């Protein structure tokens, strides 16, 4: 365990430290699942695991509170695996190296997994506690939330008995969330003809790096650079000098804003000086445009080994134009909720190699019809290139209920604890509440959490003091749950 287990509240941080030691990226949740089941057995708690890998742990009410409304804690088991290029880390096998950095806890060169490890840790701390006051509790730990909400998709109605859902997966202390955007994952699969390069090409790697990246829902309003889109922009300019693409790779997840992208390119020998000038111009333009939000942006050209194949000139022109034209970022702000993005899109992954083009794109919207319209527009763009376009893992938004009983309770509790009113918000990121509410429409739902910055990127960090406030609010809320 690192020194983080000594932080307050001890129980929560001890569980979070243990979670950091257990590899749990999406699709590799076996060890964390076994940890949860082992925890339930150790504490003599009822548990079950369903067909899609969700884990449910139940705890009886403390004496005198048996007639309170049942509460469900909900968080997800997986974390987003992102690392810096110079960091050696194998997410399915290596622990997260968490450490204290001033007022924050962060990790060495990787995502921290505070999203949603802190939520899991809080639930475990309540389940293990002997000195708290609460009614019946069920803790739902869902599988593979970050790449399709698979656990929430597969949860069956009638399994859980509680009526109030506390989702522990938002990232601003002092704010209570009562709604979220829905989304659809788009996979694009295309093909291109190849050509053998001629002798008068010089091979280089064009790379963009130093971007902040981040969560494609929570951070999309910040206007950060998308490495794929910026690289394609530069390549589009270079096409005028006869530059050809041998391969390209950018991004790693549909729901993470790409921080890095690179392409192996073939430059005609006679065009080297002209291409150097274009790259300098692009670098200066991007630096000027994004100096505030991306101060460390770099566009570099370095030597590369010769490639055996190039993208055909005709196909290259089509694909570069299509990716360049594809929408990206915040598309529309909400008319009804001030300051919240209504509709957005993130091109999270693009690869071009060996005659194949693959892209992963994630549109989101608070309005279902707007999400559908944007998804159809993207599909239409790439289908004009005869690409296969697959929609998957669609999830509904969560419609806000300003008259929610648990909202009223938590607003009162927060004001009593901190002598100020909490914010009431809708988040553009996708929460599992929309899917869960479609299966349990009787649930009264709310989401809250500590302050986490830069989730889904290696800069992820969680504010220490906010974790203590999050815990105090959770404990006080459980005590304030009304009778059934």
Q: What is the pLDDT of residue 147?
A: 87
- Burial code (b: 16+ CB inside 10 Å, e: under 16) for 255-272 equals bbbbbbbbbbbbbbeebe
Cα separation, 362 vs 145, whole angstroms: 14
> Which of 318, 311, 310 has its CA nearest to residue 383?
318
Token pair of 380, please? 């239409």
Cα separation, 482 vs 68, whole angstroms: 6
> Which of 316, 294, 323 has its CA nearest to residue 228?
323
CB under 8 Å to 60, separation ≥6 — which residues? 66, 136
Q: How many CB atoms lie within 10 A of CB 440?
A: 18
For tokens 């990787």, what's the residue? 110
Active site residues: 78, 145
Residues, the chain: 484
Pick the CATH number of 3-181+397-480 from 1.10.510.10, 3.40.630.10, 3.40.50.1820, 3.40.50.2300: 3.40.630.10
What is the CATH code of the structural domain delimited by 184-395?
3.30.70.360
Q: What is the pLDDT of residue 100?
A: 97
CB under 8 Å to 397, separation ≥6 — which residues? 179, 180, 181, 182, 365, 366, 367, 368, 434
φ/ψ region of 241 (left if φ > 0, alpha if ψ in -120 to 50, else beta) reads alpha
Q: What is the pLDDT of residue 206?
A: 98
Q: What is the pLDDT of residue 338?
A: 83
Token pair of 25, please? 């990226």
> Which of 309, 275, 276, 305 has its CA nearest to residue 198?
309
Distance spanning both ends of the chain, measured CA to CA: 41
Cα separation, 39 vs 37, whole angstroms: 5
Each residue's pLDDT expressed in tens, for the chain with a length of 484 residues: 458 989 999 999 999 999 999 999 999 999 999 999 999 999 999 999 999 999 999 999 999 999 999 999 999 999 999 998 899 999 999 999 999 999 999 999 999 999 999 999 999 999 999 999 999 999 999 999 998 899 999 999 999 999 999 999 999 999 999 999 999 999 999 999 999 998 899 999 999 999 999 999 989 999 999 999 999 999 999 999 999 999 999 999 999 999 999 999 999 999 999 999 999 999 999 999 999 999 999 999 999 999 999 999 999 999 999 999 999 999 999 987 888 899 999 999 999 999 999 999 999 999 999 999 999 999 999 999 999 999 998 889 898 898 999 999 999 999 999 999 999 999 898 899 999 999 999 999 999 999 999 998 899 999 999 999 999 999 999 999 999 9
Q: Is 156 helix (H, G, I), strand (E, B) or coil?
A: coil
Q: What is the pLDDT of residue 2?
A: 57
pTM of the entire structure? Answer: 0.80
Query: Where are the domains positioned within the chain?
Result: 3-181+397-480, 184-395
Cα separation, 78 vs 115, whole angstroms: 9
Q: What is the pLDDT of residue 1?
A: 42
Q: What is the pLDDT of residue 399?
A: 87
């Amino acid at each position: 365990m690192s020194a983080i287990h000594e932080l307050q509240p001890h129980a929560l941080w001890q569980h979070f430290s243990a979670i950091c030691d257990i590899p749990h990226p999406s699709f590799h949740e076996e060890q964390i699942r076994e940890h949860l089941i082992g925890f339930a057995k150790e504490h003599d708690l009822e548990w079950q695991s369903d067909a899609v890998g969700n884990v449910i742990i139940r705890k009886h009410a403390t004496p005198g509170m048996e007639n309170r409304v049942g509460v469900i804690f909900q968080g997800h088991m997986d974390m987003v695996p992102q690392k810096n290029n110079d960091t050696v880390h194998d997410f399915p096998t290596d622990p997260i190296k968490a450490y204290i950095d001033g007022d924050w806890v962060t990790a060495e060169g990787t995502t921290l997994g505070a999203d949603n490890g802190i939520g899991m840790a809080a639930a475990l701390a309540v389940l293990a506690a002997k000195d708290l006051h609460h009614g019946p509790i069920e803790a739902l730990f869902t599988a593979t939330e970050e790449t399709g909400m698979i656990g929430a998709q597969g949860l069956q109605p009638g399994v859980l008995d509680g009526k109030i859902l506390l989702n522990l997966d938002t990232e601003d202390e002092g704010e209570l969330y009562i709604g979220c955007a829905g989304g659809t994952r788009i996979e694009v699969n295309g093909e291109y003809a190849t050509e053998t390069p001629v002798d008068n090409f010089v091979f280089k790697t064009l790379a963009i790096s130093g971007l902040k990246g981040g969560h494609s829902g929570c951070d999309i309003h910040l206007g950060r650079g998308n490495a794929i889109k910026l690289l394609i922009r530069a390549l589009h300019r270079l096409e005028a000098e006869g530059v050809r693409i041998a391969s390209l790779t950018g991004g790693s997840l549909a729901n993470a804003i790409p921080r890095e992208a690179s392409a192996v390119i073939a430059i005609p020998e006679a065009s080297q000086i002209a291409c150097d000038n274009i790259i300098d111009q692009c670098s200066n333009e991007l630096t000027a445009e994004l100096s505030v939000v991306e101060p460390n942006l770099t566009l570099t050209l370095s030597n590369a080994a010769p490639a055996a194949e190039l993208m055909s000139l005709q196909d290259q022109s089509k694909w570069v134009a299509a990716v360049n034209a594809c929408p990206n970022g915040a598309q529309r702000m909400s008319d009804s909720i001030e300051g919240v993005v209504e509709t957005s899109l993130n091109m999270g992954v693009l690869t071009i190699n060996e005659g194949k083009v693959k892209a992963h794109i994630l549109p989101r919207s608070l309005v279902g019809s707007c999400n559908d319209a944007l998804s159809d527009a993207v599909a239409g763009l790439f289908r004009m290139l005869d690409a296969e376009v697959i929609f998957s893992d669609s999830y509904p938004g969560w419609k806000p209920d300003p008259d929610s009983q648990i909202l009223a309770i938590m607003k009162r509790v927060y004001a009593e604890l901190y002598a100020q009113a909490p914010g009431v918000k809708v988040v553009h990121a996708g929460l599992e509440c929309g899917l869960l509410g479609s299966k349990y429409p009787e649930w009264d739902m709310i989401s809250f959490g500590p302050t986490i910055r830069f989730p889904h990127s290696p800069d992820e960090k969680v504010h220490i003091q906010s974790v203590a406030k999050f815990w105090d609010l959770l404990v006080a809320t459980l005590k304030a749950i009304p009778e059934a």
